[in-house]
Amino acid sequence: MIPARYGASRFPGKLMKDLAGKPVIVRTYEAAKSTNLFDEVYVVTDSEVIFNEIEKHGGLAIMSQQEHSCGSDRIAEAVENMDIDVVVNVQGDEPFTDRESLEKVLAVFNQADADKIDLASLMAEIDDWNEINDPNTVKVIVDKDDFALYFSRSPIPFPRDKNVDVKYYKHRGIYAFRKEAIMDFYRLPMRHLEATEKIECLRYLEYGKNIKMAVSNSGSVEIDTPEDLVKANKMLKAKEVSKPPVNDKYRNFPMVPKVVYGPGCFDKLPTILAKKRKEKAPFIFLVDDVFENNNEFINRIPLRFNDKLIFMSAETEPTTYQVDELVSTIKSEFVNLPSGIIGIGGGTLLDLAKAVSIMLTNPGGAADYQGWDLVKNEAVYHVGIPTISGTGAEVSRTTVLLGPERKLGINSDFTPFDQVVLDPDLCIGVPKDQWFFTGMDCFIHCVESLNGTFLNAFSQSYGEKAYDMCLDIFLHDTLTESEARGQLMMASWHGGMSIAYSQVGVAHAMSYGLSYVLGIKHGVGNCIVFQFLDEFYPEDVKIFRKMVEKHQIEIPQHVCANLTEDQMETMISVSMGMVPLWENALGKDWEHVVTRKKLRNLYSKM
């Protein structure tokens, strides 16, 4: 039930304001409906305008017959003659009420103590003192079984000793009521505590009802002011691009169709490309500028006709801006689409090559495609040739880019390379630290995949092999240098295959925060984070430390020491935003374990 009053005092008519092409209330309705959690979804309203709008969009609406002082009363009137077990209230002005929160508030009715529950609601941990002290934020305390003890606008509990480790939770206004509970509320008069604090749900406690609280830290945006609406319009856009695949249980996963392996196999490239050359259409070679003065290597690149060689720096993480620039250079210089794009280098160059090949055939800018399955047109033929191993970028379905608003991959069926050339000899000359940082990306992919809740036999088969190879390479002294190069190249491939069907985990979620705020490169960021993850991957962190010591690697220290409060908050938000990664690492209830406070503590150590 979505109670919807037309005349909100602070922002009149807000529910009918436009939110990315539809009225706010329609957005809320569709969001609730699309969770598939409910048998029916209704808007209950006092306004014919809202009623008609919902019907026009094919939704169900009910007109209230009476004046009501609050949303619960409006719902109670509507459900009085309906045959229902549980009714959930969704706020009309919260168009982003997410499936996860609603799922959590409903899940409590399937637990062992369900008989005792009259209604359920949500709480989210808060750790900012301003928010804890803010009377507009309602705090809640619970007993050992998460039943609410009290709600208040004061900070509860009061910490007598300021250093005591206490958690604060704010109340989120989403409820799931048993029908009797909401009908009682309708009939029973308000009492002292409710009148004093002006908190509706105190009425239930005052009449001895049991309110079960579930934790949900995912954010919600209420639309209370015109500024909120502007923010919501932006958020909706962001949400639409970053929605992970709905059906990710049986993913139909694209693979690289052609791959050649072996020391020296780079020289097969002319033969491979000859078959793909189209008339007057050049091959564009994007090459890491570390090779710029390496004539011996440059001479092996088969440039013919109007082919073009572009050197790119891998100094910084690849950006959507770089991709757009490259595409516009290529388009302005050549009338025909290129025969192909060849990326030669580490993860950075491979990702640039994948993204450029996509953007040559798709309109707009690269940032428009950051997310899952947003690419419409098949990419230009593209070839990946790694010169350093570990990222798995040569085999993955994504190209990770730093955009104006987020660091996120262009994840699509058109992203994987059409051809990969795996020549371990190209990795000769990688500096030791870099070899380690990129190699550890592979080790960490395996650890996160193998310890994740998404693991299946497909991922496991690749993950275990790659994990063992990493130990041989970085821990045991059993391989010659040249053997180790070949092994690491294949470990990278297998590690990439392993996460393709599962997901990465805690280290990546936190490392993305470091990259986004401080521009720290992926491999280094992973290592900075991983050493502090004993709680999540105890045995593997021990092994990791041994490998660091054995190879005498200096991992950057204290990178978070001088963060501003804003930066820290952003870092935590970026990390918490990687929901699929946390879910893989810790399961659906990850928010019980990972709180903003915990991440702050961890980041402070780095």
Residues at the interface with ligand NAD (CB under 6 A): 288, 290, 314, 317-318, 345-349, 351, 387-388, 390-393, 396, 398-400, 426-427, 429-430, 434, 438, 441, 521-523
Length of the chain: 606
The item of Zn ion, ligand NAD, none sharing an interface with residue 351, based on CB under 5 to 8 Å by kind, is ligand NAD
Helix (H, G, I), strand (E, B) or coil at 478: coil
Mark 425-444 with x for binding to Zn ion (rule: CB under 5 A) and - for no binding: ----------------x---
Residue of closest CB approach to Zn ion? 441
The item of Zn ion, ligand NAD, none sharing an interface with residue 182, based on CB under 5 to 8 Å by kind, is none
Is the CB of 95 or the CB of 347 nearer to ligand NAD? 347
The item of Zn ion, ligand NAD, none sharing an interface with residue 399, based on CB under 5 to 8 Å by kind, is ligand NAD
For 404-436, b/e burial (b = at least 16 CB within 10 A) is eebbbbbbbebbbbbbbbbbbbbbeebeebbbb
The one-letter code for the residue type at 282 is P
Is the CB of 394 or the CB of 441 nearer to Zn ion? 441
The item of Zn ion, ligand NAD, none sharing an interface with residue 178, based on CB under 5 to 8 Å by kind, is none
Question: What is the closest distance, in whole angstroms, from the C-beta atom of residue 445 to Zn ion in the complex?
Answer: 6
Hey, which residues between 437 and 476 contact Zn ion (CB under 5 A)? 441
Question: What is the closest distance, in whole angstroms, from the C-beta atom of residue 496 to ligand NAD in the complex?
Answer: 6
Is the CB of 90 or the CB of 408 nearer to ligand NAD? 408
379: left (phi over 0), alpha (psi -120 to 50) or beta: beta
The one-letter code for the residue type at 158 is F
Question: What is the closest distance, in whole angstroms, from the C-beta atom of residue 422 to ligand NAD in the complex?
Answer: 13
Question: What is the closest distance, in whole angstroms, from the C-beta atom of residue 314 to ligand NAD in the complex?
Answer: 4
Is the CB of 245 or the CB of 587 nearer to ligand NAD? 245
Are the beta carbons of 123 and 215 closer than 8 angstroms?
yes
Are the beta carbons of 2 and 29 closer than 8 angstroms?
yes
Is the CB of 202 or the CB of 388 nearer to ligand NAD? 388
Sheet with 400-402: strands ordered across: 371-372, 407-411, 400-402
The item of Zn ion, ligand NAD, none sharing an interface with residue 288, based on CB under 5 to 8 Å by kind, is ligand NAD
Question: What is the closest distance, in whole angstroms, from the C-beta atom of residue 343 to ligand NAD in the complex?
Answer: 10
Cα distance between residue 592 and residue 376, in whole Å: 38
Kindly report the number of other CB atoms within 10 A of residue 157's CB atom. Answer: 15
The item of ligand NAD, Zn ion, none sharing an interface with residue 347, based on CB under 5 to 8 Å by kind, is ligand NAD
Cα distance between residue 215 and residue 213, in whole Å: 7
Is the CB of 285 or the CB of 462 nearer to Zn ion? 462
Question: What is the closest distance, in whole angstroms, from the C-beta atom of residue 212 to ligand NAD in the complex?
Answer: 41
Is the CB of 178 or the CB of 522 nearer to ligand NAD? 522
Question: What is the closest distance, in whole angstroms, from the C-beta atom of residue 449 to ligand NAD in the complex?
Answer: 13
Nearest-5° Cα angle at 314, 310 to 315:
130
Is the CB of 101 or the CB of 459 nearer to Zn ion? 459
Peptide bond before 157: cis, by omega within 30 degrees of 0?
A: yes
Are the beta carbons of 251 and 501 closer than 8 angstroms?
yes
Q: What is the 3-state secondary structure (H, E, C) of 174-193?
A: EEEEEHHHHHHHHHCCCCHH
By CB under 5 A, residue 423 contacts Zn ion:
no
The item of Zn ion, ligand NAD, none sharing an interface with residue 93, based on CB under 5 to 8 Å by kind, is none
The item of ligand NAD, Zn ion, none sharing an interface with residue 94, based on CB under 5 to 8 Å by kind, is none
End-to-end CA distance of the chain: 46
* Residues in contact with 162: Cβ distance below 8 Å, sequence separation at least 6, in sequence order: none
Is the CB of 441 or the CB of 540 nearer to Zn ion? 441
Question: What is the closest distance, in whole angstroms, from the C-beta atom of residue 276 to ligand NAD in the complex?
Answer: 22
Question: What is the closest distance, in whole angstroms, from the C-beta atom of residue 416 to ligand NAD in the complex?
Answer: 10
Can you read off the two tokens belonging to residue 598? 């915990």
Question: What is the closest distance, in whole angstroms, from the C-beta atom of residue 508 to Zn ion in the complex?
Answer: 6
Is the CB of 403 or the CB of 495 nearer to Zn ion? 495
How many helices (H) and strands (E) would you count in the chain?
A: 23, 20
- 234: Cα separation from own chain's centroid: 17
Are the beta carbons of 384 and 392 closer than 8 angstroms?
no
Question: What is the closest distance, in whole angstroms, from the C-beta atom of residue 253 to ligand NAD in the complex?
Answer: 13
Residue of closest CB approach to ligand NAD? 347
The item of ligand NAD, Zn ion, none sharing an interface with residue 181, based on CB under 5 to 8 Å by kind, is none
Long-range contacts of residues 54-62, Cβ cutoff 8 Å, at least 24 apart = 54/25, 54/26, 54/29, 57/22, 57/26, 57/29, 57/30, 59/26, 59/29, 59/30, 59/33
Can you read off the two tokens belonging to residue 158? 């009061």
Kindly report the number of other CB atoms within 10 A of residue 117's CB atom. Answer: 20
Relative to beta strand 419-422, strand 382-386 is: parallel
Is the CB of 312 or the CB of 380 nearer to ligand NAD? 312
* # binding residues, Zn ion (CB under 5 A): 1
Hey, which residues between 538 and 597 contact Zn ion (CB under 5 A)? none
Residues that bind Zn ion (CB under 5 A): 441
